[in-house]
Amino acid sequence: MTDILDKLATEQPDGPAANPLLPPRQKRQAAIITALALALYFFLRWLPTGTSLNHMDFRVTGKGALEFCDPANPQFIPVIAAKSPVALMLKSDTPPVKNHESHFTLTMRTAGGKPIGPADLLVSHTQKLHLLIVDPTLSDYQHIHPEPGRRAGDWEFAFTPQRPGAYRVFADFTPVATSRGLYAAADFTVPGEVATVIQTVNTTSQVNNLNFELVPPGRFRAGISADLILRIESAGVEKKPVPLEPVMGAFAHVVAFDEQRSGFAHLHPQQLDLSQPPDEMKPELNFKVLIPNPGRYVIWAQVKLSGEEVFVPFWVDVLP
Ligand SMILES: [Cu+2]
């Protein structure tokens, strides 16, 4: 027994200072362990770890660089005036026609020409890529999530325009390399005469037998953070419950466009906890938004009820 203990004791290294004096067998063991660790390190590095893009691929230099949005203080994002570090190319299999479905391929590339695929984007609001598509009169708004296509950088979706005119597609996504929201835009045209739609301010609307109301602040002023309230109630005298269901990880999504479609603001309710749905009889959700420029804006609310998504437009004036 003592023999064994003595033997073990002689084989125990005495710490780093004793290393040069290690017997050959222990040196060999140390070398093997080091080699295995290195092999594991290079194996893990070799495994596909996702994006091949880095933050430099999304860098924009010069004036008008796109400011990243701070989700805690949602703002209107001037997508068209700003220079996006991402280039979009839009193609459809058949020319887009009013009330007909076309299949589109959206190609996303960095300014340097590198494709942007699903591995390069983070999931935000349950999706990697959100497209906010709107017609020139701002009366056909659709929110679409394209699927990755076969070629790197390609994203595919089906879309049925409900009106003629030059549609604008705003892409809303978050590169893995920067972890911050980024935006880009592309246009396509649906043939036909664009009717002049004069929109008047309206903050109430009835859709699917439900009364929707958007309550703006008493004076909705540009450059000042404003509070908005979205209220929903069943129409008619006898009130029925209106249980809101989560859609893309929120009880409502609100998107505002200016008349020129220079950009958008994408808002989410301050009630973030999905385990605490709003009141069933009269749900009420609160939003905050900062709109820098005065003018007329459409504010589209998107909610989900009984498995069906409902889109409701409101029109407001933002004062100087
Ligand atoms: Cu949203």
Please give the distance, rounded to the nearest whole angstrom, from the Cα atom of residue 253 to the centre of ligand 1.
4
At 237, list the tokens.
């005298």
Predicted pLDDT of residue 244: 92
Please give the distance, rounded to the nearest whole angstrom, from the Cα atom of residue 301 to the centre of ligand 1.
10
- Average model confidence (pLDDT) across the chain: 87
pLDDT of 9 higher than 50: no
CA 286/CA 137 separation, integer angstroms: 27
The residues, ordered by sequence, that sit 6+ positions from 274 with a Cβ below 8 Å of its Cβ are 246, 249, 250, 251
- The string of DSSP codes covering 212-271 is EEEE--SS-BTTS-EEEEEEEEESSSS-----EE-BTTBS-EEEEEETT---EEEE--S-
Please give the distance, rounded to the nearest whole angstrom, from the Cα atom of residue 123 to the centre of ligand 1.
12
Please give the distance, rounded to the nearest whole angstrom, from the Cα atom of residue 101 to the centre of ligand 1.
24
Please give the distance, rounded to the nearest whole angstrom, from the Cα atom of residue 17 to the centre of ligand 1.
60
Query: Which one of 114-118, 179-183, 278-282 scores highest in mean pLDDT?
Result: 114-118
pTM over 0.75: yes
Q: What is the pLDDT of residues 138-186, one digit of tens each?
A: 999 999 999 999 999 999 999 999 999 999 999 999 999 988 889 999 9
The three-state secondary structure class of 18 is helix
Please give the distance, rounded to the nearest whole angstrom, from the Cα atom of residue 248 to the centre of ligand 1.
7
Please give the distance, rounded to the nearest whole angstrom, from the Cα atom of residue 189 to the centre of ligand 1.
25
CA 99/CA 97 separation, integer angstroms: 6
Q: pLDDT-derived band of residue 196, with 50, 70 and 90 as boundaries?
A: confident
For CA atoms 101, 102, 105, 108, the dihedral sign is negative
Encode burial over 193-208: b for 16+ CB neighbours within 10 A, e otherwise.
Answer: eeeeeeeeeeeeeeee
pLDDT of 112 higher than 70: yes
Predicted pLDDT of residue 276: 85
pLDDT of 282 higher than 90: yes
> Phi then psi for 224, rounded to 5 degrees?
-125, 135
- Provide the percentage of residues in the chain whose pLDDT is more than 90: 62
Q: What is the pLDDT of residues 289-312, one digit of tens each?
A: 999 999 999 999 999 998 999 999
The three-state secondary structure class of 289 is strand
CA 29/CA 209 separation, integer angstroms: 77
Q: What is the pLDDT of residues 68-96, one digit of tens each?
A: 556 667 888 888 888 889 999 999 999 99
Of the two residues 200 and 189, the one the predictor is more confident about is: 189
Encode burial over 36-52: b for 16+ CB neighbours within 10 A, e otherwise.
Answer: eeeeeeeeeeeeeeebe
